[in-house]
Chains A and B, each alone.
Chain A
């Protein structure tokens, strides 16, 4: 198997309770990290990749990504979204995420289970991008998503029906089952049937889905933006809470007790507030997003203080809404240390995907998913934007041509 040594970098290990950043060389063999070496240590039969002066960290994981929803012009009516149009958008989005250092994405939902199909194309080597961990259709209640948005969901009423659609999803090959348990507060257009956050699937329905997922040994994740929805999900055994916009003390206590992580998706709130008008969503959406963001951050801080695990995901609708922005917002708006943000984007996300020991770290035995930066993101989280190169499974996937040794 081909062996490569990454020479001359500081290597950042995020697996411990505190950052471990020191000069090391990394020996890769095949798609894995084989060993940590002393700087300059001689190795036989290995190609050398000079990364002098760089900081090498584990590839980032985006825990909340929709491959078909990035950079779609909202002025183009949905009936004009051909499959070729959607595929073209997905491949561009995957490239943008990979180029920014994201080597794995958890797809949080795709119509027609198309993320499962993208995963298949990746496995046959014809599609580049972060490794897709697929959810396929969202499981929603009957009439759950607003008119115009329902194509992304399969609908159910009653625990038997919910169980049936969960079984079909598992048979379709999803890596996890996504539940839609409360109404959305962001997004564009359409008629809102109830107040933001109104609970949708009921606890017995959620429980049926979780049972089926447990039989298949795949995790569940639930879109839950309000206190009632979060409590129902937790009581029903959901494995991860997405958005978690409104959390009361009971929610936080139960999250901590059950050790269920949350994915606050600050990036999409920031993006809608910042680019919403420019993207064509209207003033109202931008204002709502800004107000919601403040609530979400307060909930996040409460959860973090109670010891709830925090994962990092974008829910991006455009290619400026990258995972590095999520990390930056965790630091600058929510008071995380840079290490805590990076720990979320690597270690906690790997736990959420049940891939710990394989991704989210760079110790020997891990997949060689590596982000090569020009500067230390612990000193300033914004250095996540200074990408020199990206490796995935030991292969160079993105590289800056003019990057020179010691830059």
Chain B
């Protein structure tokens, strides 16, 4: 099979955050074979692709998606089959949309009926366009930790042995990442709870009735997952939950809207990644600006938003690894905002790009091994921009081409549009 040489104006390879000029990449069998200066890699029989005015970065990773999250289905009756096919329709559409936004790999962290495991198989087989997908299937939580509409998204356990057995079973079902729902708020009166939280000095939601997985249960899960090179993502809001999860050896902490001094120290000690999912918090506030929210919820969201941003800034300055994840569970969300919001939190454009590429790949175990940077041996998943996003993050909105496995991703036809009929040759 012949090679492709892609010649670009600038290359951000994701290795150390620097950009080189006049670079070219040699691609064979979907992988990068060599990186060099213009005119150094082309051999006879190669296909030369010149993008002499474009900037190249690695494909982005969104490590907190829920592609099949029920939007079309009836959320009050989510175990009914309409929800299942609706969730798949949503999953197909969102996977394609994220890919065209430059997300060439994603980690899906919690889906009812393990539908993301099924979706990942179709994407891998080439039947459905989408990011390379590391699915979590259903989540794991503690006995009594399920809540209403999310009942079918989670299994419950008590005890380290039960957690270990469940993890072994779930890895066999095809989970590439294990998603733990580490802490659950059991307050019946959520508005009352938020009012109490708002009365505390920093508005943090620690006081309250929480259920939590134990550190032994979490450790049992991480032990089993790590044996296979797979990783564990922990959803938790309060700082005590973050610290518990980190002590249990999780690879990523999702949301982490409350971090204390100990949390930062534990992140650094364990090498775990913070996935702050800024997009969903930001989108929620934007929605609530539409006047739909209870004033208490709105006040709480705004206070939390300030806290999240200062936490991200603090964590980044301390050297905690940060990765992009959007948590797209509200209609109308997009991927790109996550990088812009990271820059708002004080990351440089180059650091935000690393959070979307190298650092996201480094957070997902074996799945990320050949992703996240443009180096020989890695998948040729790359993006081409009109301008250099490591200089000005706004350039990510001028995305010209998405390549996956060494080839430009073709446009995905609108699944509800007009079918283009082929001419009939008699």
Contact = CB atoms under 8 A, between A and B. Distances in A.
B418 interface: yes
Contacts of A399: 418-421
Interface string B399-426: 0000000000000000111111111100
Contacts of B420: 398-401
Interface string B72-87: 1000000001101110
B84 A82 contact: no
Nearest to B71: A126
B239 interface: no
B210 interface: no
Contacts of B89: 87, 121, 126-127
A385 B72 CA distance: 35
Given A98-B419, A125-B416, A88 B72 contact: no
Interface in A378-407: 385-390, 396-402
Contact of A126 (B72, B119, B122): B72
B277 to A, nearest CB: 25
Contact of A82 (B72, B118, B421): B118
A83 B122 contact: no
Given A113-B81, A400-B421, A84 B416 contact: no
A125 B122 CA distance: 23
Contacts of B81: 112-114, 116-117
Centre residue among A84, A118, A124, A399 by max chain B CB count within 10 A: A84
B67 to A, nearest CB: 11
B128 interface: yes
A88 B419 contact: no
A83 B84 contact: yes
A85 B423 CA distance: 29
Contact of B418 (A85, A127, A397): A397
B118 A84 contact: yes
A144 to B, nearest CB: 23
Nearest to A402: B423
B351 interface: no
Interface residues of A, number: 36
B418 A84 contact: no
A127 B88 contact: no
Contacts of A85: 118, 121-122
Contacts of A40: none
Contacts of B92: 87-88
B421 A117 contact: no
A397 B420 CA distance: 9
Contacts of A402: 423
A128 interface: yes
B426 to A, nearest CB: 9
A190 B426 CA distance: 40
A91 interface: yes
Contacts, number: 95
Given A82-B118, A83-B115, A398 B85 contact: no
A202 interface: no
B18 interface: no
Nearest to A126: B89
B418 A117 contact: no
Nearest to A124: B72
Contact of B85 (A99, A114, A128, A400): A114
Interface in A236-252: none
A356 interface: no
A402 B421 CA distance: 9
B414 to A, nearest CB: 9
A395 B365 CA distance: 48
A84 B419 contact: no
Nearest to A374: B424
Interface in B111-128: 113, 115, 117-119, 121-122, 127-128
A120 interface: yes
A95 interface: yes
Nearest to A396: B418
B118 to A, nearest CB: 3
A202 B158 CA distance: 51
A385 B421 CA distance: 11
B421 A84 contact: no
B422 A400 contact: yes
Contacts of A388: 421
Interface string A113-143: 1101110110011111000000000000000
19 contacts: A82-B118, A83-B85, A87-B88, A87-B92, A99-B419, A112-B81, A118-B85, A120-B82, A120-B86, A121-B85, A124-B72, A126-B89, A126-B90, A128-B415, A399-B418, A399-B420, A399-B421, A400-B422, A401-B421
Given A124-B86, A126-B416, 20 more contacts: A82-B118, A83-B88, A83-B115, A84-B119, A85-B121, A88-B122, A114-B85, A117-B86, A118-B85, A121-B85, A121-B89, A127-B415, A127-B416, A128-B417, A387-B424, A388-B421, A398-B421, A399-B418, A399-B421, A400-B420
